[in-house]
Amino acid sequence: MGLDKFKDKNRDELSMIEVARAILEDNGKRMAFAILLMPYKNT
């Protein structure tokens, strides 16, 4: 997942909703919220 729109933002200031929405837009499909956050859980 690229999420290029967040490359200049501080990761600590992003909300999970912003990230989840960007992932959905990148993937173009519906997913469970928990699945969307898994790649970022330990970053």
- Residues 3-41 pLDDT 10s: 777 888 887 888 887 887 887 777 777 777 777 778 777
Q: Can you say how many angstroms the Cα of residue 41 is from the centroid of all Cα atoms in its chain?
A: 10
Domain limits for position 35: 4-40
- How many domains does the chain fold into? 1
pLDDT value at residue 22: 81
Provide long-range contacts, Cβ within 8 A and 24+ apart, for 29-38: none
CB-based contact 5:22 (threshold 8 Å): yes
Is the model's pLDDT at 1 over the cut of 60? no
Q: What backbone phi and psi angles, to 5 degrees, belong to 19?
A: -65, -45
pTM equals: 0.49
Q: Where residue 43 falls among pLDDT bands split at 50, 70, 90?
A: low
What's the chain's length in residues?
A: 43
Query: Is the backbone of residue 15 left (phi > 0), alpha (psi -120 to 50) or beta?
Result: beta
